[in-house]
Structure 1
Amino acid sequence: MLMRNMLLAGAMLAVTASAAFAQTVILQPDEEVVVREYIVKRPPPEVVLPDDFDLSVGTVVPEDVVITPLDAPGIETRYDYLVVDGRGVLVDPDTREIVEILD
C-alpha cells in the first residue's frame, strides 16, 4: 500500500511539473519577435533589482519596481514589461508575477 501511494504521488508530481513547464511558454515564436522589437524600440529604464531577487518565472516583482505596459501590435493578452540585465521580462499586470523572460 505504501509503495502504491508513493507511485501515485510521484505520478501526480510529474503531471504537475509538466503542466507548470507548459505554462512557461507564453508567447509563440512570431509573437516573441514582435515583443522583442517593441521592447527594443521602447526601452524602459533598465531596472536594478535587489541582490537577493530571484529573476525567474513565477517570482513577483516588488511594488517599488516600475513596470511598463506592453502595447505591442498583435499581442492580445495584457502584459507589462521591464528590462533587467538587457533581457526583456514580461509581467502579469494584475499579480506582478514574471510570466516570461526573453533571453
Structure 2
Amino acid sequence: MKKIVSSAVTALLLLGASSIALAQTVIVTPEQETVVREYVKKKPLASIKLPGVELNVGSTVPETVELQTIDAPDITYRYVVVDNRTVLVDPGTRKIVRVID
C-alpha cells in the first residue's frame, strides 16, 4: 500500500511539473506571425542594439526599451526591432516569446 501511495504522489508531481512547463510555452500561430510581419512592414521601426541581451525565447527585454503595440485582433504581444529582427515580447513579463527574422 505504501508503494502505491508513493507512486501516486510521484505521478502527481510529474504531472504538475509538466503542466507548469506547458503553461510557460507560448505558441504564436503561423497566422499571427503573418499578421505581425505585415504590420511591421507597414509601420517599420528603427533597429536597436541590446548589448548583453541574447535574442532567445525567454530572455528579458530591459525596462528601458520601448515596446510597440501591434494594432491587430488576437495579438496581445508587443514588439521591438533588435539587430534587424522583429522580437515579440510579452508586455507583462517583458520576456521574448518569438524572434522573427
State whether TM-score is above 0.5.
yes
Q: Distance in 2 between matches of 1:33 and 1:47?
A: 22
In structure 1, the residue matched to 2:58 is 58
- SS of residue matched to 2:61: coil
1:44/1:68 contact within 8 Å kept = no
In structure 2, the residue matched to 1:94 is 92
Structure 1: gaps (5+ residues): 1-7
Shift of residue 33, structure 1, vs aligned partner: 1.0
1:47-72 CA-partner distances (Å, limit 9, x unpaired): 1101x211111111001112111112
Q: Which amino acid aligns with 2:71?
A: D
Q: Distance in 1 between matches of 2:74 and 2:53?
A: 29
Shift of residue 24, structure 1, vs aligned partner: 4.1
The number of residue pairs the alignment matches comes to: 93
Q: Which amino acid aligns with 1:35?
A: V
Q: Which amino acid aligns with 1:87?
A: R
Q: Which amino acid aligns with 1:33?
A: T
- SS of residue matched to 1:58: coil
2:32/2:75 contact within 8 Å kept = no
Moved over 3 A (4+): 18-21
Q: Which amino acid aligns with 2:62?
A: P
Matches within 5 A, 1:1-103: 12=14, 15=18, 19=22, 23-25=25-27, 27-50=28-51, 52-72=52-72, 75-103=73-101
Could you state the TM-score of these two structures normalised by the residue count of structure 2?
Answer: 0.71
Could you state the TM-score of these two structures normalised by the residue count of structure 1?
Answer: 0.69
Q: Which amino acid aligns with 1:76?
A: D
* Larger radius of gyration between Structure 1 and Structure 2: 2
- SS of residue matched to 1:88: strand
